Structure 1
């Protein structure tokens, strides 16, 4: 869904990029997706072991997203890293904003501000450009949620190889990521 204030040419640019990238994802084999997911989890687990965040905001991948074809789930793998970080998962609300719940206690909702507790945030993306502009699914959920995150908090997008691109269309409300993780490139920091 495109926000109503999005200029038509910008909306068309984002939609075309999203469509092409999602088509390329669907053309990957299950073995390619599984291999990419395993590599990404190794890189991400190394980051968590090194930085030791007490709270991670993550997500449950679906479809062809990086991290979907794993033995176990991405949040479960993050929660199992030595030091046992607390893992928060998003819950989509009716207005497309994100509430949060604890991975280990899925019954209680923590509220939209819970993301501000995270010391590391792992977000889905269809693509990210070299300046940190993130292309998502088009609902604006993560832009709203990331607006609640304290400055300096690492925000990492998980991508397949080839999805870190030179330039994406952006608007002032688009929240940037600080790094991406790709299967072959590993952790790639981006300019703030």
Structure 2
């Protein structure tokens, strides 16, 4: 995947569409290799953390399976998000694939494609994590994250900033090559990440 999106002019929706199309056009085996490389690289940065908040990937997102498995092998407590009715996220413990369920999404009819923990520890549980790994479609040269537009993770990152904790979670985004250093329009609710990993490449801002 190559970076053809460094034009700040287009609206976010246009940029998202192009990024998603590039992901779909990429060979599954190449996505799998890049995902494995990114997860291994991020595990090296996370080190011996006690608790990490992450997410269960779906569709063409970088596969977080190797990351979740690697964290559990180290004995790290893992939190995964639960989408609430107001589109905010609460968090529950991940103890393996059997600990996840597919819920009916807010206002939806069919079960969500994203598996979630069966029990919530609340929205503030993420504040106890050393790291939070967030999904992203792109990260800008200044570390600003572009998501899918739902705003759920922007609220989480705003909550972390508002906590005022000196030991706040470090925020990392998993990407594919070509999705780093993308110039994207920035809105007031957008929040930066501390680290972006794409394959074996890493960018650090804090």
Q: Structures share a fold, TM > 0.5? A: yes
Aligned to 1:174, what secondary structure does the other structure show? coil
Aligned-partner Cα distance in 2 for 1:116–1:173 = 19
Deviations 1:148-178 (A, max 9, x none): 2246531000000000124211112211101
Q: Which runs of 5+ in 2 are unaligned?
A: 1-7, 100-116
Computed over aligned residues only, the root mean square deviation of the Cα atoms, in angstroms, reads 1.8
Counterpart in 2 of 1:34? 32
TM-score under structure 1 normalisation?
0.83
After superposition, where does 1:170-189 map in structure 2 within 5 Å? Answer: 170-185=186-201, 187-189=202-204
Count of paired positions = 173
Deviations 1:7-50 (A, max 9, x none): xxx9x61101100000000001111011111111110121122x
Counterpart in 2 of 1:168? 184
Counterpart in 1 of 2:41? 43
**Greater CA drift, 104-113 or 161-170:** 104-113
TM-score under structure 2 normalisation?
0.78
**1:130 Cα deviation (Å)?**
1.1
Aligned-partner Cα distance in 2 for 1:108–1:76 = 20
Counterpart in 1 of 2:93? 102
Aligned-partner Cα distance in 1 for 2:27–2:59 = 12
Is this contact kept in 2: 1:60–1:74, CA < 8 A?
no
Larger RCO (alpha carbons 8 Å, 6+ apart): 2
Deviations 1:85-136 (A, max 9, x none): 1100001112111011000264321111111111111000000101111110
